[in-house]
C-alpha cells in the first residue's frame, strides 16, 4: 500500500472515530458512510480493511466500558509476564523486538556524540515521526493531534546535543516491521532514558497486545509500589510510542488516563489491537 493510500485510509478512519466519539448513541453503517461521503459498501470495505472488523463491532471497542472490560478480562500481571520471558531481549508481545538501553552516563550527555536518523512515515495512526540510531528505533511520535511541528520539537528536544540526520531509507525496514511484523525479522529498539524510565518502559514491553495494565501494577512490578506518580510521568515520557506500548497503561477505574500524543490516538490504538486480536 502506498504512503498516500495509507494516509488517506487513516484520515477516513480518524474522521469516523471522531464521529463515533461525539455521538451519544451507536451510529449505523448508513449514517457513518453518509458523513464520509461514501457508499455504505465502500465505507464498510475500507473500515474493515483498516480495523479488521466492521464499524459496528469497532464502536464497541471505543467505549469506556471496553476499557473497563480490558481491566477485568485482559489485565496482565506483569510479574507473571516477566517470569515467562515476555521481557528483556526475547520475543515481546505480538512483535519481534529486541532492545538495548543507553547507559546512564551517556544519557546524561543529552545525546552528545549521537547521530539520530529521522523521517516522517505514513502509518495506521496517521503521519508518524520515527527516529533511530545505528542500534535501533529510539523515537516514534504521532502528529495527527499535536501537529507535526510540535511533534518534531517535542522529540528533538529530548536529545538536544545529538546530530539529527533526515534519512528515511535508514529506518524504512524497521518502520515497516513495526506496523506489519515481518517473519524472522527483529525490530531493534534503543531506549534512551533515565534508569527509572528504562525500568518502566521495560515493564510496558511486558504487556501483551490486546491486554492492559495499571499504573499501580507497573509500580509494583518495578519494586516501587509507592511510586505511582513517578511511574505515570515515566509512561508519559516514553519516546517510542506504539512499540513501547504506553497506550496499554490505564487507571484502576478503567479510565484511559492521559496520552502524550492525544487521547483519540490512544483509543484508536487500543481498539485497533483489540479488534485485530479478536479477528485473528
Q: Whose grid coordinates read 540510531?
A: 133
Segment 116-138 shows an average pLDDT of 92
pLDDT number for residue 159 = 94
pLDDT band at 175 (very low <50, low <70, confident <90, very high): very high
Segment 220-244 shows an average pLDDT of 91
pTM, 2 dp? 0.77
What mean pLDDT is reported for the chain?
A: 81
Q: Whose grid coordinates read 542500534?
A: 135
Core vs surface per residue 198-231: b (16+ CB within 10 A) or e? bbbbbbbbbbbbbbbbbbbbbbbbbeeeebbebb
Paired residues of 128 in beta bridges: 121, 142
**What's the distance, CA 248 to chain centroid?**
8
pLDDT number for residue 167 = 97
Q: Whose grid coordinates read 501537529?
A: 147
* Poorest-pLDDT segment among 16-25, 28-37, 81-90, 178-187: 81-90
Which residues are designated catalytic? Answer: 246
38 or 65: which carries more pLDDT confidence? 38
| CA–CA distance, 153 with 150 (Å, rounded to integer) | 5
Hey, which of 21-25, 41-45, 49-53 has the most confident mean pLDDT?
Answer: 41-45
Given a cut of 60, whether residue 86 has pLDDT beyond it is no
Q: Say if residues 124 and 10 touch (Cβ distance below 8 Å).
A: yes
Between the alpha carbon of residue 112 and those of residues 20, 164, 192, the distances in Å are 45, 11, 12
| CA–CA distance, 243 with 138 (Å, rounded to integer) | 10
| CA–CA distance, 159 with 104 (Å, rounded to integer) | 14
* Poorest-pLDDT segment among 89-98, 151-160, 234-243: 89-98
**What's the distance, CA 12 to chain centroid?**
19
11 or 241: which carries more pLDDT confidence? 241
Given a cut of 90, whether residue 166 has pLDDT beyond it is yes
> What cell does 248 get?
496499554
Given a cut of 50, whether residue 95 has pLDDT beyond it is no
Given a cut of 60, whether residue 241 has pLDDT beyond it is yes
| CA–CA distance, 112 with 159 (Å, rounded to integer) | 8
Q: What is the DSSP string of the chain?
A: --HHHHHHHHHHHHHHHHHHHH-SSPPPHHHHHHHTTS-HHHHHHHHHHHHSS-HHHHHHHTSHHHHHHHHHHSB--HHHHHHTT-STTS-BTTB-EEEEEPPHHHHHTTTTT-EEEEEEEEETTEEEEEEEETTEEEEEEEHHHH-HHHHHHHHHTTSTTSEEEE-HHHHHHHHHHHHSPPTT--EEEEE-S-HHHHHHHHHHHTS-TT-BEEHHHHHHHTT-TT-HHHHHHHHHT-SBTTTS-GGGEE-TTS-----TT-HHHHHHHHHHHHHHHHH-
Paired residues of 240 in beta bridges: 140
Segment 13-17 shows an average pLDDT of 78
Amino acid at each position: 500500500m502506498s504512503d498516500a493510500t495509507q494516509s488517506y485510509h487513516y484520515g477516513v478512519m480518524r474522521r469516523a472515530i471522531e464521529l463515533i466519539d461525539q455521538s451519544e448513541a451507536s451510529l449505523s453503517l448508513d449514517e457513518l458512510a453518509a458523513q464520509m461521503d461514501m457508499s455504505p459498501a465502500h465505507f464498510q470495505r475500507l473500515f474493515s480493511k483498516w480495523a479488521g472488523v466492521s464499524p459496528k463491532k469497532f464502536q464497541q471497542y471505543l467505549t469506556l466500558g471496553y476499557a473497563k472490560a480490558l481491566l477485568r478480562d485482559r489485565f496482565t500481571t506483569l510479574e507473571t509476564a516477566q517470569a515467562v520471558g515476555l521481557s528483556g531481549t526475547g520475543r515481546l508481545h505480538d512483535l519481534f523486538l529486541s532492545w538495548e538501553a543507553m547507559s546512564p552516563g551517556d544519557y546524561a550527555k543529552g545525546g552528545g556524540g549521537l547521530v539520530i536518523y529521522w523521517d516522517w512515515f505514513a502509518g495506521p495512526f496517521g503521519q508518524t515521526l520515527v527516529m533511530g540510531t545505528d542500534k535501533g528505533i529510539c523515537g516514534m511520535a504521532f502528529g495527527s493531534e499535536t501537529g507535526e511541528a510540535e511533534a518534531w520539537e517535542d522529540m528533538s528536544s529530548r536529545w538536544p546535543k545529538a546530530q539529527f540526520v533526515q534519512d528515511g531509507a535508514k529506518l524504512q525496514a524497521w518502520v515497516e516491521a513495526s506496523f506489519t511484523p515481518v517473519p524472522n525479522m527483529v525490530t531493534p529498539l534503543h531506549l534512551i532514558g533515565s534508569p527509572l524510565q528504562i525500568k518502566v518502559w521495560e515493564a510496558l514491553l511486558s504487556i501483551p497486545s490486546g491486554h492492559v495494565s495499571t499504573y499501580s501494577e507497573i509500580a509494583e512490578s518495578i519494586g516501587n509500589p509507592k511510586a505511582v506518580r513517578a511511574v505515570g510521568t515515566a509512561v508519559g515520557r516514553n519516546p517510542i510510542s506504539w512499540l513501547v506500548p504506553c497506550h496499554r497503561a490505564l487507571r484502576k477505574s478503567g479510565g484511559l488516563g492521559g496520552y502524550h500524543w492525544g487521547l483519540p490516538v490512544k483509543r484508536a490504538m487500543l481498539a485497533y489491537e483489540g479488534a485485530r486480536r479478536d479477528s485473528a
